[in-house]
Amino acid sequence: MKEYILHLLYKDKGLTFDEILKKTNLQRDDLLQAIFNLTNENKVHYIDLSLSKCSICKICNKNFFVKGG
């Protein structure tokens, strides 16, 4: 699934969490884990687009993109 997420990000040059969620049909927790793993592997980066602070992780308000993409 990580490869598919990377493919989506290369193709669309940045997606929100909800857009990736719709395209992958994963459960929210599974997608969070996959994105965190890709971020830890230094393959995926994000830009914080939130206007207000979230009390948990703010992952839903980020725009994801592939390093070097």
pLDDT tens per residue across span 2-60: 889 888 888 887 788 888 999 999 998 898 888 888 888 877 776 655 545 554 555 56
Can you tell me the distance from the alpha carbon of 53 to that of 50, in angstroms, rounded to the nearest whole number? 7
Q: What is the pLDDT of residue 30?
A: 92
In the chain the domains, ranked by start, together with CATH numbers, are 2-66 (1.10.10.10)
> To which residue do tokens 């493919």 refer?
7
Measured between alpha carbons, how far apart are the two ends of the chain, in Å? 19
Q: Is the pLDDT of residue 66 over 80?
A: no
Residue type, 63: N
Handedness of CA 2, 23, 10, 36 (dihedral sign): negative
Model confidence pTM above 0.75: no
List the structure tokens of 34. 């996959």
